Amino acid sequence: MNARVMCSLPNEQVTEALAKLLELKAQLGTNDGKQTFVLKTPKGTRDYNPKQMAIREKVFSTIINCFKRHGAETIDTPVFELKETLTGKYGEDSKLIYDLKDQGGELLSLRYDLTVPFARYLAMNKITNIKRYHIAKVYRRDNPAMTRGRYREFYQCDFDIAGQYDPMIPDAECLKIVHEIFSELQLGDFVIKVNDRRVLDGMFEVCGVPADKFRTICSAVDKMDKMPWEEVKNEMVAEKGLSPETADKIGEYVQLSGATELADKLLQDDKLSQSKVALEGLADMKQLFEYLTFLGVEDKVVFDLSLARGLDYYTGVIYEAVLVQNQADTQMQQNEHCEPVGVGSVAAGGRYDGLVGMFDPKNRKVPCVGVSIGIERIFSIMEQRMEASEKKIRTTETQVLVATAQKKLLEERMKLVAELWKHGIKAEITYKKNPKLLNQLQYCEETGIPLVAIIGEQELQDGVVKLRVVSTREEVDVARVNLIEEIKKRSCQS
């Protein structure tokens, strides 16, 4: 816009135009009249290179196979929701929701997790029974700590069971799934902490916490895995207005942990037994540990009264899986001068029987329980181990390279690779008309391709293909009609 045109505009439009120009200039910058850009990913996000993606796909495959093994089907929901859908569901964490500008008469927000959209989906479609998994990105306007797998954009892997069932059977299966996934991923020792929001609410009640402070005190207790009790107590008293005497009463409970025997002890507790909701929660906790024994996972589960899970929508059992850092990991981090990772929550979930009813008051009877796998923390641990290890990681699944040692055979290579693709073989050719055989073999060694199908004039005349095993350099002539079967057989063996 030139000066003459700007002068003809009203003053307020001139001011607005100048402001936009200054904003654009600040965003782009100038360098002798040339535009300059800062090449970086937004704060709290990252790119993934092929090696990192290979690890990511392996982890996803393990998790999805587990979900499917337990009979789950999958759904998908929009990456953004109506703002009112998310509002009031996350307690103090609601301040971390990403709000979007009004683009067409709707106030929207990026999804904070996959649980609230799932409840909205159930209510909207009048679904009362489903076992589903959902793997997708979520967004939080959080303070990122990327070396510990804490991002603003990240994946969640959720498994949920919705429907009216007998108590603690679906809940036990969710914990079994957590046990299976972390056993298969072999990340090291882990423990699954469990508690019940009804036990927490009953505890707050008998300790004298005002009802309107239950959720905010619950949020403070949830920090006990990161802060010592004295700091948590100080937050309750100084920031949240609780009396020191009440905080001390809470402290007598939240520092307890155990298993079935702790539930028995608390059922006999003079103060806690006065709370009906606490007794219900403790009875269910005893039932849960019985089922966990049947499923063979009770040795990894601990009843921990400090576990609170700050989200508002939990109504019953809650749980969190934590990796236990071993000496090997500690030594590796010291050698690599890395910030420690692998300690902290790597999965969490619980029961949320009232969430669907918040969207559909006429259909409140859709109890739900689920678990979310903390995939980014898992990636951070596995990537750090990858960097410390000399083990080579394949970034492709190519089974065979179609190669030649002679010139003018591009047509034959293309015909053969097309035949392999047609039969489901993962195959490649190099993009040169007359490549050198040595370069083709080196490419296989660099990328980890296990087999080379070599053709030449003599092989074409004899109707065979020379199949070479890259690792052993063994070569064998295979009849062209038998090549597909031979490659599949060798791929299965490897």
| Per-position b or e across 129-145, b if 16+ CB within 10 A of its CB | ebbbbbbbebbbeeebe
Q: Is 140 annotated as a binding residue?
A: yes
* Alpha carbon distance 458, 451 (integer Å): 20
Q: Is 313 annotated as a binding residue?
A: yes
In sequence order, what are the beta bridge partners of 301?
192
Dihedral sign of CA atoms 227, 231, 233, 235 in order: negative
**Furthest-apart CA atoms within the chain: distance in Å:** 93
Q: Is 18 annotated as a binding residue?
A: no
Q: Is 48 annotated as a binding residue?
A: no
Mean pLDDT (whole number) for 88-107:
86
pLDDT of residue 222: 85
Q: Which domains does the chain have, with CATH numbers?
A: 12-389 (3.30.930.10), 400-493 (3.40.50.800)
pLDDT in tens, 124-159: 999 999 999 999 999 999 887 776 667 899 999 999
Q: Is 115 annotated as a binding residue?
A: yes
pLDDT bracket for residue 361 (50, 70, 90): confident
CB 90 within 8 Å of CB 74 = no
Q: Is 82 annotated as a binding residue?
A: no
CB 354 within 8 Å of CB 367 = no
Plot region of 463 (φ>0 → left; ψ -120 to 50 → alpha; else → beta): left
Angle formed by the axes of helices 244-254 and 214-221, to 10°? 50
Q: Is 28 annotated as a binding residue?
A: no
pLDDT bracket for residue 490 (50, 70, 90): very high
Q: Is 315 annotated as a binding residue?
A: no
pLDDT of residue 448: 95
* Alpha carbon distance 67, 421 (integer Å): 30
pLDDT bracket for residue 21 (50, 70, 90): low
102-116, 172-186, 436-450: segment of lowest average pLDDT: 102-116
Average pLDDT, whole number, for the chain? Answer: 88
* Alpha carbon distance 172, 28 (integer Å): 55
Q: Is 215 annotated as a binding residue?
A: no
CB 362 within 8 Å of CB 413 = no
